[in-house]
Structure 1
Amino acid sequence: MQQGIFVILERLKHETHAAHMRLEASVDLPSRLRSPESYRDLLARFYGFYAPLEPRILARAEWAAHDFPIAPRAKVPALEHDLAALGYTPESLAALPRCTELPALTSFPAALGALYVLEGATLGGQVISRAVRGQLGYTPETGCAFFASYGRELGPMWQAFRAFLTNVELEQPASADAIVVGAHATFAAFGAWIASFEC
């Protein structure tokens, strides 16, 4: 078990590092927290990526086959809550642009790689949520539910996902490459989507 944890998580960390750094540079968080308007725009861009991608991940039949509860990991509802709290109507939300250059998640391991990116973003959201509250005053109730996803359950949710990743690799060793490819493709697509907008 420990060997599996080391292999897949170390591979994901190191082989997607460059794409991860490019995504962080594209997000440019300090500039996004300068005003309520720039923060709202960042959430809209995140929504434009998550809204078309997340359903493709969550719809995989393999989650049920593995008895893994995937529904609680949905982030689109939190983004919709935040955007509504910050002034979006159902009509303006529906009119937001959505990414069409999504990663090709043609297998369950590829979907796992994509979820690794989204769950990692959730892990980093804990730090972001504190910055949002400190600089803009938003709470999970008033516009920062997305970055505060899972609340006090963040650690256990991350550990459960890590363990699941490891179990899949141990059961299907050949899946590791597809997991890494899926993660890399998701980082790249997310970064390209964010970078396609002017600051």
Structure 2
Amino acid sequence: MVQDMQIELDRLTDATRIQRLKAQTAGTHDTLDKRIMRAEPFANRERYALFLDVQHRFHADVAPLYAAAELNRLLPGLAERCRLEALRHDIADLGGVPEQLGSTTGPLNPATALGWLYVAEGSNLGAAFLRKEAAKLGLSDDFGARHLAGHTDGRGLHWRNFVSAYNELLLTEAEELEAAEGARAAFRRVHALVDQIFG
């Protein structure tokens, strides 16, 4: 497994770090996307509430990473990107009571944590499509779909700033492999949550 990942990393040496990470996690990411769409999270508000539960649990997992001093040093402005509170408001908007959740990941080394953050931040970029689907249910940036809202600076610019900082990190090849495994673990975590909550 590690040897296969090393071969893939060698093949992508001319790509940026984010491009390599995307390529290394594409299969796991694609499997998750298809599973989420099969769950029909935007069929009605009841299904969407289940989707919020998935998102809430995942973002509770990554919230400590957004608050970590070392990760904020590596990725300036990281703390303000956390969407956990927006999710809690979304759940309340739909009449739910958000649980007080802690992270289930346990301690993560910085490289592995960077992989989890890649998944969380990438999901915000993809949220533009989900936001349109939520609007069909009468939800908006101010009610029920706050966590899907783009940044005031623009969703694309916000992502590019993250990518730029990520690409400039000084990581060894071993750390890049750890980040890729962290990202795959994050995708698997969301997949497991979808299976658990949607059934």
SS at match of 1:48: helix
Residue 58 in structure 1 maps to residue 66 in structure 2 = yes
Distance (whole Å) between structure 2 residues aligned to residue 122 and residue 68 of structure 1? 17
2:33 corresponds to: 24
Gaps of 5+ in 2: 1-11
SS at match of 2:40: helix
1:94 corresponds to: 99
AA at the equivalent of 2:194: I
Which structure is richer in relative contact order (CA contacts within 8 A, separation 6 or more)? 1
Distance (whole Å) between structure 1 residues aligned to residue 78 and residue 103 of structure 2? 22
1:180 corresponds to: 180
Distance (whole Å) between structure 2 residues aligned to residue 6 and residue 73 of structure 1? 26
**CA contact 1:105–1:182 (8 Å) conserved in 2:** no
Distance 1:69 1:46, change over 3 A: same
Gaps of 5+ in 1: none
AA at the equivalent of 2:67: A
How far is the alpha carbon of 1:161 from its aligned partner?
A: 0.9
Q: How many residues align?
A: 187
Distance 1:176 1:148, change over 3 A: same
Distance (whole Å) between structure 2 residues aligned to residue 194 and residue 109 of structure 1? 26
Residue 45 in structure 1 maps to residue 54 in structure 2 = yes
**CA contact 1:5–1:166 (8 Å) conserved in 2:** no
How far is the alpha carbon of 1:98 from its aligned partner?
A: 7.2
**CA contact 2:121–2:159 (8 Å) conserved in 1:** yes
Provide TM-score, normalisation by structure 1: 0.83
Distance (whole Å) between structure 2 residues aligned to residue 40 and residue 62 of structure 1? 34
Distance (whole Å) between structure 2 residues aligned to residue 5 and residue 69 of structure 1? 28
SS at match of 2:197: coil
**CA contact 1:82–1:143 (8 Å) conserved in 2:** yes
AA at the equivalent of 1:122: N
Distance 1:161 1:29, change over 3 A: farther
SS at match of 1:164: helix
Give the counterpart of 1:77 among 85, 98, 121: 85
Cα RMSD of the aligned pairs, angstroms, is 2.4
Using the TM superposition, name which of 149-158 and 105-114 deviates more: 149-158
AA at the equivalent of 2:25: T
**CA contact 1:47–1:76 (8 Å) conserved in 2:** yes
Provide TM-score, normalisation by structure 2: 0.83
SS at match of 2:149: coil
Distance (whole Å) between structure 2 residues aligned to residue 5 and residue 85 of structure 1? 46
**CA contact 1:75–1:149 (8 Å) conserved in 2:** no
For 1:130-141, list aligned pairs within 5 A: 130-133=132-135, 135-141=136-142
Distance 1:42 1:5, change over 3 A: farther
Residue 157 in structure 1 maps to residue 158 in structure 2 = yes
Q: Percent identity?
A: 25
Distance (whole Å) between structure 2 residues aligned to residue 66 and residue 198 of structure 1? 36
Distance (whole Å) between structure 1 residues aligned to residue 110 and residue 179 of structure 2? 8
Distance (whole Å) between structure 1 residues aligned to residue 47 and residue 85 of structure 2? 21
SS at match of 1:181: helix
2:130 corresponds to: 128
